[in-house]
Amino acid sequence: MFTPVFPEGAPKPIAPFVPGSKVGNTLYVAGILALGQNGESLHEGDVKAQTRYVIEEIKRVVEGAGGTLADVCYNQIFIKNRADYAAFNEVYAEYFGENPPARYCIISELVREELLVEIAATAYLGDA
């Protein structure tokens, strides 16, 4: 069994899933995209703004489960354009630069043409 995590004010998912699933001390954060409250795409054409938005939404889910971004131990990253990789990493390092979690990054199309980055995360919450 898992406990769904749906932070107050989080955008409604565009498909049948919850933003986070807590199993014991582990939190699995769904793939987060730059989507607003009504499912609209945000920050079109700006990978830095989309990355910042995605990580802030991950932070909201993790905090909603009682943790912090420092508890994130693994990220699964999908970037639409290889040319955006350096800009993505600039923003990513702002959040995870000191002690970054393990990750992988795949260049791939995403569910909408205008979306440039998606990140799913895993966090270990200890006794949270």
* Per-residue pLDDT tens digits for 29-63: 999 999 998 889 999 999 999 999 999 999 999 99
| pLDDT reading at 128 higher than 70 | no
What pLDDT score does 20 carry? 95
What 8-state DSSP symbol labels residue 83?
Answer: G
What pLDDT score does 16 carry? 84
What CATH class does 3-124 carry? alpha beta
Closest CA to 33 of 17, 54, 7, 61: 54
Contact 128, 29 (CB under 8 A): no
Integer Cα distance of 50 and 100 in angstroms: 19
